[in-house]
A and B are shown apart, each in its own frame.
Chain A
Amino acid sequence: MKLDCFVGIDLGSTTTKSIYLDENENIIGRGITNSRSNYDIACQVAKEEAEISSRFTLLERKLEADATLAAIKGTLLPWLTSKYRHANHLTQLNALKLECANEVAKRDDNEFSAVAVPMLDDVFKILEAESQDLFRPNVGARSDFFRDIAASGFLQAVEKLVQNNPKLLDRMIGIFDKAILVVEGKSYANAFSQYIKYATEETVALPQFKSFAGQIREATNYAANVTFNALNTIGTGYGRQRLPFPKEQIRSEILCHGLGAHYMFPKTTTVLDIGGQDTKAIQIDGRGIVTNFQMNDRCAAGCGRYLGYIADEMNMGVHELGPLAQKSTLSVKINSTCTVFAGTELRERLSMGEKREDILAGLHRSMILRAMSLLARSGGIFDEFTFTGGVAKNPAAVAALKKLVEENYGERVLNISPDSIFTGALGAAIFAKRGYLNEMEKINLEAISKKEQKQMDAF
């Protein structure tokens, strides 16, 4: 089966997102990956992820269409998904293992190799065993990205095995860092049918699904065999100039965020987007068209990247910062949100005896204060107000925003979609659809006028 679709890609500084829309403007697939240093690969991987996600949507639709399968969908789909993800994970682990061995061989150091080779064997045995628990149905993964999962597992395992040999630990981490780059750059999209077959067989072997084996096989087989026909693709985001697209297929992320926010929340008037490198305050009209915008200048103070540095400095994950900041009882006033000096500011405060959660609460507030200034410059905050970008996932940032909005503008409806990180890619996909329809209309009009001309000539 062939499925027509429209593709939006948002090449951000931190993550690259992709959205697949069907002809009825329903989101069928979402893909996200690290932007890495290679935009081309990031773009490809995000698209592949969105395609895989689209296949799962189609699978779900197929299950819903069958009365017996629809009844067990709630338990069946999580099993298929987790088994699929596990298969995918094991393939990547295997690739990583091979690359690590290659890296060790490249060092051309027999002494190191004698220690490292058996150690890698042990490490990957541990990682494989641990992965069984990571991919159970309905278990929230710590991260969507293979790199994050593999890195933390690898580090923990190696730390145990090197037994207080920091030099060896460093060398092993060095091996991992090189190897992961190669693994991340590889494409696994073509392996969908292989993984889904594995997942199907593993699932139908379970007693509760045994009697539906035939129908399940048929459904997954269908999802694996759909071909996606992208009628139009639009790219946006920080790295959009690097996309291998012609100019007409590239849109500013400001317009895409405006339109994406409008699609998610049609009553949106003001949009705040805090991304990795920039913060944008956008005003849109009733059709999602941007009427005004302000963004930070060349300084990335107070953007997502700033939180990234703070997290590194505190040896925490970015997603852990918000919850910790929310434990604060005493807000510390912080004036600088300079990304470069983020670490300095933090260490100074810690050395003065201030608590981590209080400092973090202060940092979040000052970050939002910068955004408030951009919002004011763009014209203010009107109902409804939609917050997008990676930082919208941070509860402390959201809490600080709510408070400051209320203090400055009174009560406003604040929308945050769980899909907020995909807003730009969604806007791009809608632009792709509109662009395609306009083009079709033009072609039709030309055809009609040619036909009319012919009739006139005949007359």
Chain B
Amino acid sequence: MENNKEAVKENSMILQKDMIADHFHNLAQAKENGKKVVYTFVPGNLNELIWAFDMLPVHPEINALQSAMRKKSAAFVLEAEKSGHSEDVCTYVKCDVGMMKRGNIGPTGEKLPEPDLLLLSYTGCFTFMKWFELLKQEYKCPVVMLHVPYQAEGSISGAMVDYVVKQLEEKVIPVMEEISGKKLDYDVLKSYLSASNRAENDLVSVWNSARSKPSPIDAYFGGVYYIGPIFSAFRGLAQCEDYYRTLREEIDERVRLKLGPITPDGAEVKEKYRLVVEGPPNWTSFREFWKMFYDEGAVVVSSTYTKVGGLYDQGFRHSPENPLESMAEYCLGCYTNHNLPSRVDLIEKYIKDFDADGFVINSIKSCNSFSAGQLMMMREIESRTGRAGGFIESDLVDPRYFSAANIKNRLESYFQMIDAKKAGAS
């Protein structure tokens, strides 16, 4: 079986693996060590602030996807359904609730600590609110909500930034001070923001490397590994900076050698199709899903999912000069907080910037916030770019919604459609 093959690891991969293991280990010992724990979501997370209070962040979506990749999510989803959650509920939520009900054993096998605070920065996904309502009932701990206005007009106004900053000053920071028992030290916060800024520069360089032909990276399947540290607990930390410096060096070397991306089996992908992908991946059959692309020589040169935790490639950086404003702009700018026309614009830009042959939408059954409107987006992008769009359906962490034969059939048809288009045009 392909899936049992040991993955070939580069230095950056080893670094990341160690970081994750350390973090879950620290979480397991948090209570013993007197550390406070904050649960928060990836899009619009305030990691630098959490670290500035010397608290430890937990991201429930990351736990869910990690559980799925380790084949543990099916049982958790069923557990949540047993307690009354419908089949249509977001499966990240059900995976998390199921994990909690089964003793909160995290993806690495160590127990996760209960939260001292639920920090809900709401960025475009309604489910986040319901999710923390559930956790609040379960853990009986305080919730602080940061309301991030939706980019309904497709841009961020000064008033929107002020509104978020005001909440940070008047609500979020005071609550965190109370729970941590510490006053916020702005110098400490700024040093974390500086580290974030440097890591973000390196990440953007990695994204831009995909403009090369062949692309040295797969910006979706490989990309989800590249966003690992910066989208989860580590943004702002020195080890995160190290990771991105190392990654950038590795990728620069691949560009120099004109190498394509490497698959989990260690083989180099020979680029035949350059694609942009919209929507999260399926996590339960992640390797199999990826294989359907690289077996056909399809390389993803840019993706939107890898921007849910920040659109750094479009210019945003955390800034130590304006700490609160830059955190506010970060929250406002996450991909999940963009309206449909902006998403269409972004994908169109990616197709042109990265000279893609087409784009694929992976429509997630249980994620309304991502999936609503995707067919409309597809048609609009097709008509603007003249490039072929492909549409597949799967789910985040519920393995029952991954139909390999069906997805493979659609993808093969899609790739042949690109071939036929190219042959017809020449």
On A, residues with C-beta under 8 Å from B are 251-255, 278, 285, 287, 289-295, 297-298, 377, 379
Contact = CB atoms under 8 A, between A and B. Distances in A.
A310 to B, nearest CB: 23
Contacts of B389: 292
A251 B393 contact: no
Interface stretch (B7-15, B170-178, B232-240, B404-412): B404-412
Contacts of A255: 413, 416-417, 420
Contacts, number: 45
Given A377-B375, A379-B379, A295 B420 contact: no
B322 interface: no
Contact of B382 (A251, A252, A292): A292
Query: What secondary structure prevails in chain B residues at the interface with A?
Result: helix
A295 B409 contact: yes
Contacts of B421: 289, 291
B388 interface: yes
A297 B406 contact: yes
Nearest to B421: A289
A254 B421 CA distance: 14
Most buried by B among A253, A292, A379: A292
Interface in B155-195: none
Most chain B CB atoms below 10 A, which of A251, A252, A278, A294: A252
Given A291-B421, A298-B405, 19 more contacts: A252-B416, A254-B417, A255-B417, A285-B424, A287-B424, A289-B421, A289-B424, A290-B417, A291-B388, A291-B417, A292-B382, A292-B389, A293-B410, A293-B417, A294-B391, A295-B406, A297-B406, A298-B406, A379-B379
Contacts of A252: 409, 412-413, 416
Contacts of A253: 413
B414 to A, nearest CB: 8
Nearest to A257: B413
Contacts of B409: 252, 254, 295
The 7 closest A-B CB pairs, nearest first, are A298-B403, A252-B413, A254-B413, A289-B420, A290-B417, A252-B412, A255-B416
B27 to A, nearest CB: 37
Given A297-B393, A297-B406, A290 B382 contact: no
Contacts of A251: 416
Interface string B371-410: 0000100010010000011010100000000010110011
Most A CB contacts (10 A, CB to CB) among B375, B382, B420 go to B420
14 contacts: A252-B412, A254-B416, A287-B424, A289-B424, A290-B413, A290-B417, A290-B420, A291-B388, A291-B417, A292-B389, A293-B413, A297-B403, A297-B406, A298-B406
Contacts of B424: 285, 287, 289
Contacts of B375: 377
A73 B360 CA distance: 55
Contacts of A294: 391
Contacts of A292: 382, 389
Contacts of A287: 424
A298 B282 CA distance: 15
